[in-house]
Structure 1
Amino acid sequence: MKSSFGLLLAAGLCVASVARHDTALFREVDNARSVHITSMSEGPDSSRFTYTKLVSGLDEPMEMAILPNYDVVVAERKGAVRYFNNATKELSTVAQLNVFSGIEDGLLGVAVDPDFKNNNWIYFYYGLGGEKSISQLARFELKGQSLVRDSKKVLLEVPTQRKYCCHSAGYITFSDGLLYLSIGDNTNAEEIEGHTPIDERPGRELSDDQAATANSNDFRGKILRIKPEPDGTYSIPDGNLFPKDGSQGKPEIYVMGVRNPFRISVDPKTKYLYWGDVGPDTEVPGSEGKMSYDEINQARKPGFFGYPYFLGDNEVFPDYDFATKKEGPGKDPQKPVNDSPHNTGVRELPPAQPAWIWYGKGPSKKYPLVGKGGASAMAGPVYYSDLYPNAPYKLPEYYNGKLFIFEWIRKWIMAVTMDANGNYARMEPFLPQLKVVAPIDMQIAPDGAIYLLAYGTNWFARNTDSGIIRVEYAEGNRNPIATVSTSKTIGAAPFTVTLSAKGSKDYDEGDQLTYEWKIGAKKLVSEEIKHTFTKPGIYNVVLSVSDQHGGRGTATTEFKIGNTPPDVKILTKANRSFYWDNVPFDYKITVTDKEDGKIEPSKIHAGFNYLAFGKDLAGALSGSEGENIRYAATAKLYSSLDCKACHTMETKSIGPALKAISKRYEGKPDVADMLARKIITGGSGTWGSYPMPPHADLPEKDAKEIAGYILSLSKTSSRTPLTAQVKLTEHVGKGNEGAYVLLASYTDKGANGIGPQKMATHIVLRNPLIQMEDYQEGNVGVVVATQNTGFVSYISNITNGKYTRFNQIDLTHIKNIRFRIQEHGAGGTIELRQDARDGMLLGKVDITDGRLEDLKIGWKEVLLPVNSAIGVHDLYLVFKNEKIKAPMFHIDWMYFENDLNP
């Protein structure tokens, strides 16, 4: 399936059969700014690679331009031009271009002139805002961090249509002073009826790719090659596809017959052009399943690359008649003829060139490493060692001559090896641990470091896991890894904060580190500092960590001063950890905010529901406003897939809105199972003729959960009260694995130039029976449940001084802890202690010496009285028998007894 920006999905219910992924910028990164990679399956020693998160939280980044001083300009689709200052590590917005950002359009490309050091020219490609449907390739001057708006020169205008989605592409790159621009076919892909869009009926030219990518007189579905001139115009270089006089087609065209050439690169030595072409979703049988291939292409010379007539290894699409709904014989790849009435260019096209690499949604026999599922192929740079002389981070010779390709959906990067003639030889994973979320651009800087641009998890959204990643390889001294530890980063002025660099590392043994902090013009040299921000504003604190050999690593932390986050509390007299039969739960939600003052109750979000474990409770708590907790985790699962490409919540996109689907099927019997089957098996005709591909790899339980989530959207749920006393009954008859979740959140109005801040809190009530092997920390043994143990798992090898810890348990109203134990050993004492192994003693119970028994000892229950404990604490169970060094007993579970139980 294809998403937005070329990952075009079907018009019905679209759910990708792609693997789940972490929502961190990459899996190994948590709050640290840099992470060291420890292993690699192919190629050189991966311990020499490090990568650093330079920037995060971008709003739909599309392309980046690396300046000679290693500053980075990023084009965001909605029109923002973002500037990362490499010296200060600060990110700013230097311009907001007037763009049309509907469908997949917007600010799509950015590149600096090869002579940027002298002329300061920077190029953008974007859909121009306003009523006129055109996209522009424009040049500006970028002086320092200022985009000179009146320096604008429009080199090229591309007429487009803005009625239908999709495919805009828009990548810019330079080679030998020539500018290459990729442009998508911009053709209606909503009603292709399982075929390619070749609708020749009158008035249907917007649904006919023969009017675009196969049309020599149209810029769309092409890769252009021009030579920018100093006066802001351009000339046509020698060797393009058509004559310079325009007699046979647009002379700017270098490659035609492409669908969505989203990312392109030019080999700096051979000058071969590479691009990833995001393929269609069709029902046409192919050599590997259906002809829905993504392609990596290589153009050694200008040419026609087949679409919409051919795909992959020149496999032929049938000539589908949209009027009669019948298939006819396809075109001849050697002599393709564009005989569509919508064609305004030449009829006889150049011979179709086959794809270089191609793969579908299922496993690929020819290229097994590419995996399966949703896809979006991208082409990165070709690397040559000798082009980076004396570069400190140049890749090893192993990668010399290799092409890097990458996958937006499948999240891999491959190094492709070619033979002496430039033919494909093999591919292998490149840093497979680097699970970048939606990599959208890849470039090599002059110092040999690789820069990756991550789009992030959710489409058409600002993502916290988007950003710029810098990958370094070092044979000799490796740069230190700078890590900032701090507490809150948001608050009212004056705001005092302690910053620590103690988490910073250096992987070269014996290196001595020094630490420098930069806050505005102020510099402090210390491993730990304390600083007070006295005025409202947004501040970047930069930590630089250096070793004695000149190695240096940096990390930036942003502080937003001027708006105190709201204080959201859930007050209750009940226990905050457990539920019991027939014991009510009372609560009161309160919110205070220093700047907002009086809080409107309607602005407070609250939700209370019963969840079965196994539904990613943490995901539910982080992904819900409160009202629909039941499906919060499912909504998070849905958002991790590529369904959003054709389904929005409220309005029709390529497919129907989720709420429209829910409304159509509201109240109908067995509809959840029907939708789940449809998600898995695919189909067409319910919402239009566009086919929905099957998702056979999606687990049935996930399909049913997603169907239930969609159906829930039409239901009007009653608002959860902010104060209540609830009788807990939903768990009855449903086992011990469920939990009640009460969630409260509030987003303030913002203050002093700082945007709104959201705070949330929650209470999770679980069953009071806890299996002992579920401890968070400890040093006892665990016996796994088998037939020999009666299918009981328990903790064992309990000797004097050993312990287990259970995190954050509320002892309010707890009078006893009941243990199921087996007196199988020397006996001893179980001590209950608060917050530490030697913390406050809350109670204890003695266990009999089981060695005195001649018969086989069974399980029994004992009570540990809890002495007037209250509040939420970490609980330590410490086991004592100082008289003998031998195992004392086994423990199966513990049960917390409530003093309110009737």
Structure 2
Amino acid sequence: MKKYTFLVFTLLFIVSCVLGMKSGKFLNFSNKKIGFMAENSGVSFIRNKTGNTSTNNSWREALDAPDSSRFTRIILAQGFDEPLGMAILPNNDVLLAERKGSVKIYNRKTKQVKTISNFNVFSGIEDGLLGIAIDPNFSKNRWIYFYYALAGDLSVNRLSRFELLGDALVQNSEKVLLEIPTQRKYCCHSAGYISFDSNGLLYLSTGDNTNAEETEGYTPVDERPGRALADDQATAANTNDLRGKILRIKPLDNGTYAIPQGNLFPPGNPKARPEIYIMGSRNPYRFSIDRKNSYLYWGDVGPDTKVMGDEGELMSYDEINQARKPGFYGWPYFLGNNQAFPKYDFETKTLGPKKNPANPVNDSPNNTGERVLPPAQAAMIWYGKKSSKNFPLLGNGGASAMVGPVYYTDLFPNAPYKLPSYYNGKLFIYEWIRGWIMAVSLDKNGNYLSMEPFLEHLKFKAPVDMQFGNDGALYVLEYGTNWFSKNMDAKLVRIEYQEGNRNPVAEIQTDKQYGASPFSVQFSGNKSIDHDREDKLFYIWNIDNKEFKGAIVNYTFTKVGAHTVALTVTDNKGGRGMASTQVFAGNTPPDVQIETSSNRSFYWDNSLLDYNVLVKDKEESAINPERIKVTFGYLPRGKDVAVILTQNQDAGNFNYLKGQQLTATLDCKSCHSVDRASVGPTYLAISERYSGKQGALTYLADKIIQGGSGVWGERAMIPHPELPKSDAEEIVNYIFSLTDKSGGKRKLKDEIVLKDHIGKGIEGLYLLNATYTDQGANGIEPLQSRDYITLRNPFVQAEDFDEGNVRLGTITTDFLTYATSINHNSFIRFNSIDLRNVRQLKYRVRAQSGGVIEVHHGNKNGPLISSIKIPSRIAGSQAHWTEIIADLKETRGVQDLYFVFTDESGKKNLFDIDWIYFGNTTL
């Protein structure tokens, strides 16, 4: 019976699929979560990895999602200083614009980056060199367009055209198309992206350029006398102002421009600028134009408000917008799906009525344009700081919405790296702060259908621009971790897709990255992989414009400065992967050493740890003791030591490790750092202001959860409503520890009695950590080096070995794990053990057939330093755990320790081992 039921089910499924192809529907088996069509909706539901349900417009799409291993991520260049935009040339060289004014070019053949021009820009607030685009006829006219804040006393942002000859930007070829008056007194929002549509029309986004730091939790509509710079009705909602807009013009060959038909306002109206295509934007930072239908998509970076929206969420929305025609998109009156803000009176601190999105009126005294505005248009996608009910895939936390291109596979007919047809017609959106990329599916009319993560296995560091090159590859520009600074993780990345034979994934390893000139480095490509495992790999290196072959290359740099090293890995089927890294000649990392006469591996009750920190630096004749940081503490969770060492903690108290981890994993790092200026104050500055003050812990913990502004300026702090109060307090305590003079900072030479562990179990570790940061040399940044000592409990669990050929047994009722299946020549190894002052070993063993435990120093056949015979269990008796003591020869130096188990009779199962105790004879 079951057999026939299965056949009937299968037949029904086949019939439904055939009918579904014609009708667009499948049978409704929605309770199975296996991708069947919901009959009443006309769209399929696919359960994704995050547990959210996303929709797709066909069953076939769900089947054809491409394998992520077919995407190769290639780092073309890195270490930029605030890169904001790129322009991909027809030959796939890439022009890059940095905010402080530098224009650079990445040469795809030499794989090198060089500076080709420097603009003299005003780079205060968020201004600077903001936008770059190439002319649609670049191959013939060699024209490049830039949008930048002009340096000097004249507060204007300028759209200009220049000529690029070879790889040289001709500065005196500038043709000024448009200048936009701005204010430079208050922050924020400059936007400044430039792009062309398929008809040769140029689009330019402009921010509202309004005081965003004194909104009191509402919108900037301050109509009080003298407060015009804090009124967005004077810019974004003003038809006679070019700020808070997306403009559309037709550049002419003589360096001027014309107004194309179809903009929001026709020429000739003294109260409306004809350049405006979109108005009512706050900070339309990134946009794109669909190359087939000219639909405009943009991300509008939203505010931080305390106004509750229609769905019970604060109206701190970022938006993804679509415009099929010109229009008004609501700011500062509406946000999201046209949810309205109440009119806030800054004089009386009272709330007035909301405006009508169907008939918005701008009656601010600071408005110089039309009073009656076009109807407000709703966003396509909107999301706040909490997880969105409508778009749950977008996550939570800080936000800066960006928009990339719409992909069409037929626009790249012969491109080697074009995306699969699965992505045809999808819009790519991305997030500066959250770091994700989403592919948005649209129906045949351009309406939103669904979204899905794209390259979710990759992490992007503040993606700031995204474009397709003529080669079909997706180019991503990453701004990097810290705001307003040069970042080593600011990089240009190319994403290549490969059908058939998959590209190798190139990876570079170096034995050192910094050193004095001449500087000898070994480079290895042996960590490169190929997902087609049968392929043979070949390695080509480009170092100082010289070519080398082989997986490993040794090279000596004789010129001081930064050097880019590129590796190309090819396989025997034509696949290719690339990677690059930088090394720096001219500054040697300092040499930090901790000297001690104590044991460097173990602690015992009330034992003494003496130490002396010594520092040398090749480029510094005198060591500055103020730059030496010595910290010491007991970590109840010994495994936390890895977190401290990987995060380079050199100050603060180890007791606040959880708080440090939270600040690293939450979105705090998008606005703050320990000691480098960013959007928000440094943690050190916060600690200096609040540490030791009554009530500060509760006050700051509440502020982390609730958000707020007004202390470090009016820029709002992102709320974290889902963060437990205890975690917020952990963060605050960590911040306070940074300036706590007693918080673990110690003398350069001292003696410490080890007693903090007593009564706290055997899992903890002591960490003595010493770091020194030099002053930099020869243009190379300051470098930090460290030495450290970790001391663990002398009770070492046998199952914690670093290498061995035994098995592990368990007794779950006793919560016991032990080493078992020990035969002749079995062994376990523990790495880097110091036996100074250790004279005895105690074992907890359970005898089986019996044998010998030998201890060898350095390697498995190294010097024998201890031996003990484990007697066999008496036949018929029950095996019991027994403690046995063995003497140990005096041994110095840190070496690997091998416990080798022998029995010449060839018997099996010699004994079991639970733990090993290293006994100190000095106590």
**Equivalent residue letter for 1:832:** V
Match of 2:828 among 781, 791, 804: 804
The amino acid across from 1:226 in the alignment is: I
Residue 85 (1) aligns with residue 111 (2):
no
Amino acid in structure 1 at the alignment position of 2:380? W
Q: 1 CA distance for matches of 2:179 and 2:664?
A: 36
Q: Pick one of 46, 61, 74 that aligns with 2:83.
A: 61
Provide the residue aligned with 1:479 in structure 2.
503
Residues 1:470 and 1:192: Cα distance change in structure 2 (over 3 Å):
same
Matches within 5 A, 1:592-607: 592-607=616-631
Q: Distance in 2 between matches of 1:269 and 1:344?
A: 36
Q: How does 1:511-530 map to 2 (within 5 A)?
A: 511-520=535-544, 522-530=546-554
Equivalent in the alignment of 2:584: 560
- Residue in structure 2 matching 1:199, options 222, 229, 233: 222
Q: Percent identity?
A: 56
Contact 1:200 1:341 in 2 (8 A): yes
Q: Structure 1 862/387 Cα, relative in aligned 2: closer, same or farther at 3 Å? A: same
Asked whether 1:642 is paired with 2:667, we answer: yes
Match of 1:125 in 2: 147
Report the counterpart of residue 39 of structure 2 in structure 1.
none
Amino acid at match of 1:706: I
The letter of the residue matching 2:128 is: G
Matches within 5 A, 1:327-342: 327-342=351-366
Matched, 1:434 2:458: yes
For the pair 1:820 / 2:844, whether they are aligned, the reply is yes
CA displacement 1:493-522 (0-9 Å, x = unmatched): 444444444333444455444333333454
Distance (whole Å) between structure 2 residues aligned to residue 664 and residue 524 of structure 1: 55
Look up the SS of the partner of 1:515 in the other structure: strand
Corresponding residue of 1:11: none
2:705 match? 680
Task: Write the letter of the residue equivalent to 2:83.
Answer: P
Alignment partner of 1:725 is 2:751 = yes
Opposite residue 495 of structure 2, the aligned amino acid is V
**1:739 maps onto 2:754 in alignment:** no
1:76 aligns with 2:98: yes
Deviates more, 1:538-547 or 1:191-200: 538-547
**1:114 is matched with which residue: 132, 136, 145?**
136
The answer to whether 1:347 aligns with 2:347 is no
Distance 1:651 1:470, change over 3 A: closer
2:285 paired with 1:259: no
Query: Which secondary structure does the structure 1 equivalent of 2:701 belong to?
Result: helix
CA, structure 1 residues 745+98, in 2 after alignment: closer, same or farther (shift >3 Å)? farther
Aligned pair partner of 1:284 in 300, 304, 307? 307
Pick from 422, 427, 444: which aligns with 1:398? Answer: 422
1:233-632 correspondence runs (5 A): 233-288=256-311, 289-508=313-532, 510-520=534-544, 522-613=546-637, 616-624=640-648, 626-630=650-654
Measure, in 2, the Cα distance between the counterparts of 1:681 and 1:495: 51
8 Å CA contact 2:385, 2:396 repeated in 1:
yes
Please give the secondary structure, in 1, of the residue aligned with 2:332: coil
Change (3 A) 1:840 1:556: farther
Distance change >3 Å, CA 767–CA 390, structure 1 → 2: same
Cα distance, 1:404 vs. partner?
0.9
Distance 1:187 1:515, change over 3 A: same
Residues 1:525 and 1:247: Cα distance change in structure 2 (over 3 Å): same
1:754 positional shift = 4.4
- Aligned equivalent of 1:36: none
Q: Measure how far apart 1:246 and its partner are.
A: 4.8
8 Å Cα contact 1:615-1:633 kept in structure 2: no
Query: In structure 2, what is the Cα distance between the partners aligned to 1:885 and 1:238?
Result: 94
CA distance in 1, matches of 2:123, 2:308: 35
User: 1:705 is matched by which residue type in structure 2?
Assistant: E
SS of 2:254's equivalent? coil
Q: Could you report, residue by residue, the CA deviation over 1:56-97 in whole angstroms, capped at 9, with x for unpaired residues?
A: 332332222222222222222333333322112223333333
Query: Aligned-pair distance for 1:678?
Result: 4.1
Question: 1:413 and 1:809, CA in 2 relative to 1: closer, same or farther beyond 3 A?
Answer: same
Question: How far apart are the structure 2 equivalents of 1:687 and 1:484?
Answer: 42
Choose the corresponding residue for 1:138, options 160, 172, 185. 160
The correspondence for 1:844, drawn from 867, 873, 898, is 867
Aligned with 1:757 (options 771, 778, 783): 783
Letter of the 2:279 partner, please give it. Answer: M
Equivalence for 1:696: 721
- Are the equivalent residues in 2 in contact too, given 1:262–1:277 (CA < 8 A)? yes
Does structure 1 residue 226 correspond to structure 2 residue 252? no
Q: Distance in 1 between matches of 2:88 and 2:758?
A: 60
Deviation at 1:408, TM superposition (A): 2.2
Q: How far apart, in 2, do the equivalents of 1:607 and 1:726 lie?
A: 12
- Kept in 1, the 8 Å contact 2:855–2:864? The answer is yes
Does the residue aligned with 1:584 lie in a helix, a strand or coil?
A: strand
Query: Quick check: 737-746 or 584-593, which moved more?
Result: 737-746
**Could you say if the C-alpha distance between residues 352 and 740 of structure 1 is closer, same or farther in structure 2, counting changes exceeding 3 Å?**
same
Residue 411 of structure 2 aligns with an amino acid whose one-letter code is L
Structure 1 residues 546-555 or 45-54, which shifts more? 546-555
Instruction: Give the 3 Å change call, closer, same or farther, for CA 251–893 of structure 1 in structure 2.
Output: farther
Distance apart, 1:658 and its partner CA = 4.9
The answer (yes or no) to whether the contact 1:458–1:639 under 8 Å persists in 2 is no
Conservation of the 8 A alpha-carbon contact between 2:482 and 2:670: no
Q: Give yes or no for contact 1:457–1:640 (8 Å, CA) kept in 2.
A: no
What SS does structure 1 have at the residue aligned with 2:754? Answer: coil
Unaligned runs of 5+ in 1: 1-39
- In the alignment, which residue of structure 2 is the partner of 1:867? 889
Structure 2 SS opposite 1:464: coil
CA distance in 2, matches of 1:771, 1:41: 49
Q: Which has the higher contact order (CA 8 A, sep 6+)?
A: 1
Task: Specify the SS of the correspondent of 1:470.
Answer: strand
Query: 1:82, 1:820 → 2: CA distance?
Result: 66
Distance 1:821 1:115, change over 3 A: farther
**More divergent stretch after superposition (410-419 vs 517-526):** 517-526
User: CA 1:745 to 1:296, structure 2 compared with 1: closer, same or farther past 3 Å?
Assistant: same
Label 1:114 to 1:798 Cα distance change in 2 as closer, same or farther (>3 A). Answer: farther
- Any conservation in 2 of the 1:88–1:542 contact (CA below 8 Å)? no
Work out the number of aligned pairs and report it: 858
1:771 maps to a residue whose letter is Q
698-707 or 170-179, larger mean C-alpha shift? 698-707
SS in structure 2 at match of 1:286: coil
Match of 1:709 among 734, 741, 745: 734
1:402 positional shift: 0.7
Note the 1:12-23 alignment, pairs <5 A: none
Distance 2:828 2:664 in 1: 37
Change in CA separation of 1:322 and 1:870 when aligned onto 2, cut-off 3 Å: same
Please tell me whether residue 104 in structure 1 is matched to residue 129 in structure 2: no
Partner of 1:188: 211
Q: Give the distance between the partners of 1:144 and 1:604, measured in 2 at CA.
A: 49
- In 1, the alpha carbon distance for the partners of 2:157 and 2:858 equals 63
CA–CA separation in structure 2 for the residues paired with 1:661 and 1:567: 32
Q: Secondary structure at the match of 1:290?
A: coil
Cα deviation for residue 423 of structure 1 reads 0.6
What amino acid does structure 2 have at the position aligned with 1:488? K
Pair 1:178–1:837, CA change in 2 (3 A)? farther
Query: For structure 1, which segment, 651-660 or 369-378, has the greater mean C-alpha deviation from structure 2 after superposition?
Result: 651-660
C-alpha change, 1:549 and 1:343, in structure 2 (3 Å) is: same
Most deviating of 879-888 and 479-488:
879-888
| 8 Å contact from structure 2 (residues 482, 678) kept in 1 | no
Deviation of residue 561 (structure 1)?
A: 3.0
**Shift of residue 112 of structure 1?**
2.2
Distance 2:708 2:555 in 1: 61
Larger radius of gyration: 2
